[in-house]
Amino acid sequence: MSLRGAIDRSILRCAKPAVPGLRVAFSGSGKATVFSSSILLALALAAPTSAQVSPALGTAAPYAVLGTNLVPTVGTVTCTDTGPGTAINGDVGTTFNGGITNTMCTITGATDSPVAASVVTDFNAAFNAIDAANPCTGVIPITTATLAPGVYCSAAGTTIGAGVILTLDGAASDTWVFRVGTGGLGALTLTNAQVVMAGAADACNVFWKTAEATTLTNSDFVGTVLSGAAISMNSGSWFGRALASTDVTITDAAPLTFAGCAAPATITVNKDFSDNNPAPVSVALSCTSGVVSATPLNASEGAPAVYTVSQADLAGATCTATESVPVGYTANQANCVGVALDGSCTIINTLIGVPNTITVIKDFSDNSLAAVSVNLTCTSGTVTTTPLNASEAAPAVFDITGATLGATCTAIETVPVGYTANQANCVGVALDGSCTITNTLNQGPAIPVPSRSIGGMLLLMGIMTLLGFVALRARAV
């Protein structure tokens, strides 16, 4: 048998936890070599993974804590806070009336006692289906390790002790499945240990299936547990779900947070065009937690985009929609930032349109060819370039973008020296209109003419007549 064949058989069987040594024969060598269990474990964890399948929890998905059994008095949920500080962020349910005992714990979700029969049916179906859908690709480590997405198994029980840290490192859409007790028997026990997420990995994409009980003591833990027997937790933190075939008991010796995962939710993105354009627009959705089933989707005024978000956590998961802004429009997307699960929002597109113009004409009283600087301001929109020069031969043509209906503009010139300006025609000009600024040449000062009284005029005329008479007499002599 080859080395690869021996390792593959050991991994696929998931027959037992790693042992101190493993004898592997090299094909054709006639010799045997002993490998340590740590080497085997490293090789197993590095092996390629297959596609993991998340169990379909159905109506059991909304529950952070669930005790399920149709036998009376079995399937209880007991939460005792001695801190104080114990909080369960999610729904809590049991299979019979009065099965929830809460001593000073904070439960943010609903408390259902009893739950609907479909909840038990869906839990049992998920519990029974998870093994067949997830063949083993590695073994569950009991020493500190970083795990890629995959299916990790142990044939019997798994005990993870003090100081051990299992880091699940991957993308937001990656899934981890842990199967404890593939041989039919086996419990999961963590004491002073940690299971944590790294990268963009989501705790709601982690699933543990245990053949028997699950016991956590002073440990930090992530994932949804489908337990074949009771679940017990004493201190620490748990991000996921505790779903048991019998009882769930939570006892807090220090502040404890139990954060569940939400059932599949929807986000609806509506479109609103200022001109009622029916065109579809591509819209992408991203969420702080969970998996978006399909993105981007098209949205239009007649058909909003409806996204499905699964496996999101209940600790305030939100989503944000971002569109590919259509050409010729502006987009107001503020309403679609931080939308709560099962919420909706609207992206508004406003038509930019073709730029408007204002034409300013010049008129000089003396037909001057001079150019004059003219500045334009408008009640809305943006003037592309101002000031511009205007002359009798070349009016100033201003472009205005983004103006609203009913906007007006006013032109003011730098009045040329030696002229007066009449600019009243260029105040409050409608978009795509024109106006004329008239310049009149100033005249020089008038020469003063002395004023005379009537008497003075008569005296002057008399003197002039006398002088004329004297001149005539002189000629006659």
Q: What is the pLDDT of residues 419-436, one digit of tens each?
A: 999 999 999 999 999 999
- Among residues of the chain, what percentage have pLDDT more than 70? 83
CA distance 417 to 77: 93
244-247, long-range: CB < 8 A, 24+ apart: 244/66, 244/67, 244/68, 244/75, 244/214, 245/68, 245/69, 245/75, 245/127, 246/67, 246/68, 246/69, 246/74, 246/75, 247/67, 247/74, 247/75, 247/76, 247/77, 247/78
Residue 458, pLDDT > 90, answer no
Q: Which residue has the higher pLDDT, 7 or 310?
A: 310
Report pLDDT digits (tens) over 7-28: 333 333 333 333 332 222 223 3
Q: Is-contact 178 184, C-beta < 8 A?
A: no
Report pLDDT digits (tens) over 105-148: 888 889 999 999 999 999 999 999 999 999 999 999 999 999 99
What's residue 477's pLDDT? 59
Going through 324-418 in order, the beta strands assigned E by DSSP cover 329-332, 339-340, 344-351, 356-364, 372-378, 382-383, 388-390, 396-401, 408-413
Q: pTM score, two decimals?
A: 0.58
Lowest mean pLDDT among 214-223, 266-275, 357-366, 468-477: 468-477
What's residue 476's pLDDT? 64
pLDDT band at 255 (very low <50, low <70, confident <90, very high): low
What's residue 40's pLDDT? 38
What's residue 8's pLDDT? 37
pLDDT band at 448 (very low <50, low <70, confident <90, very high): low
Residue 471, pLDDT > 90, answer no
What's residue 364's pLDDT? 96
How does DSSP classify residue 261?
A: B
Report pLDDT digits (tens) over 143-201: 999 999 999 999 999 999 999 999 999 988 899 999 999 999 999 999 999 999 999 88
How does DSSP classify residue 11?
A: H
Residue 475, pLDDT > 90, answer no
What is the chain's mean pLDDT, rounded? 84
pLDDT band at 86 (very low <50, low <70, confident <90, very high): confident
Q: In the beta sheet, which residues pair with residue 168? A: 147, 197
Report pLDDT digits (tens) over 51-68: 789 999 989 988 999 999
What's residue 406's pLDDT? 83
